[in-house]
Amino acid sequence: MFTAASFRVGDRVTIRSGQSIPQSIATVERYTHDGRCMVLSDGSEWRADGRRQWGFRGSYYKGPVVEPFEPGDDDFVAKRRSIGALRKFADGLTMDTPLTAEALRRILDVVDKEKASAQGAAKGD
């Protein structure tokens, strides 16, 4: 019988892309198939060692992997998702948008304030 030594039920883990970039954060929920398959809180299934997704049908795998959670992974994932949401929002803006000019100005004011704050922090202010 194969038993998983890498992760325990309840462990926070990071799913990383093939380039070792954090994609998402999950928790180990349970093991199935005599401990060979690890089920995460997002519903995905992985080999117990986290090296490839359970049921993958290929001899060569360069996809995401599960690794132990490291400090900063959650901030990276949150930043990446926020950037994606902002890009999607901005890409959909046209003159026909239902948002008013005032609402768009408020959004832009917050963006400008955050940019100024980040520039000040980078300069050591």
Residues 16 and 64 in one domain: yes
How does residue 3 score in pLDDT terms, banded at 50, 70 and 90? very low
Q: Is residue 108 part of a domain?
A: yes
State how far the alpha carbon of 116 is from the alpha carbons of 15, 82, 120, 122, 125, in Å: 33, 18, 6, 10, 11
Domains identified in the chain, total number: 2
Q: Does 110 map to a domain?
A: yes
Give the structural domain span for 53. 12-68
Residue 125 has pLDDT above 70, yes or no: no
Asked if 80 and 61 sit in the same domain, the reply is: no
In a shared domain, residues 48 and 78: no
Confidence of residue 1 (pLDDT cuts 50, 70, 90): very low
Do 23 and 57 belong together in one domain? yes
Cα torsion 74, 79, 82, 83 to 10°: value is -150
Q: pLDDT by residue (tens digit) across 72-122?
A: 999 999 999 999 999 999 998 999 999 999 999 999 999 999 999 988 887
Hey, which bits of 1-125 come out as E strands? 12-16, 22-32, 37-40, 45-47, 65-68
Q: What is the per-residue pLDDT across 20-70, written as a single tens digit (0 to 9) for each?
A: 899 999 999 999 999 889 999 999 999 888 887 766 565 566 678 999 999
Phi and psi at residue 72, to the nearest 5°:
100, -15
Residue 114 lies in a domain: yes
In a domain, 1, yes or no: no
Phi, psi of 118 (to 5 degrees): -70, -40
Going through 18-107 in order, the beta strands assigned E by DSSP cover 22-32, 37-40, 45-47, 65-68
